[in-house]
Amino acid sequence: MTNRWTQRIGSGQPRFGMWLASGSGYVTEICAGAGIDWVLLDQEHAPNDLRSTLEQLQVLAGYPDVDVLVRPPSADPVSIKQLLDIGVQNIIVPMIDDPSAAAAAVAATRYPPEGIRGVGSALARASRWNRISDYLVTADASVSLTVQVETVAGLAQIAGIADVDGVDAVFIGPADLAASMGKLGQPEHPDVVSTIETALATIVARGTSAGVNAFNESVAHRYLRAGASFVLVGADVALLARGAEELATRYRKP
């Protein structure tokens, strides 16, 4: 079994995604039908727990052309195990600063002897409760791992991180990187953008797919030119907030 997401981000065709942070299956379904290439269900900075994530996975099953990534709050192997068991196939792990941390994240997504994932397929949606008879021997190949590099320390080791066997992609987090560079709240600062461009080029030069988020369209295209193959270009909550503000402003004009 081959992971579709890794095939798509390696195809040379850019993939445009949306952050889903509302924790709402209803909102997720609205966004999934919009024509976006992929979505990211966030547990790190959003009110998503295991049950709300499961609900959204079930909703997204009705939109098979949309690829789904899920971000746990950390690289905790227990959290990763639970996500894999409910059927997540594409994991994106935040705050990876060195190759050893990346290797540990890989191990969390693999069954022994390649990793440390606990075996509970009889209880798991991922195996359809053992209705997929060969799940245990095909599961590792069906899972993708993206690691997030979002600090100056991580950037210093980005080539080594990208080289870790089992890391399918490296994603740059501009907000935390900007903070790490002393530019809190300035993810589009010229120094931050140029640093990210260099990082993306380095990742791609190692033969690994690269991603980033950029809500500014011109910056997103800069990152695509630098080598990014998948870009988060919006978020459900941000679209709702800005749209509501624009509506209110329009009707409050003198």
Catalytic residues: 45
Strands (E), 73-175: 90-93, 144-149, 169-172
Residues 6 or more apart from 119 whose CB is under 8 A from it?
Answer: 111, 112, 136
Identify the DSSP state of 51.
Answer: H
134 burial via Cβ count (<10 Å: 0-12, 13-18, 19+): exposed
- Amino acid in position 175: A
Angle between helices 217-226 and 190-205 (to 10 degrees): 30
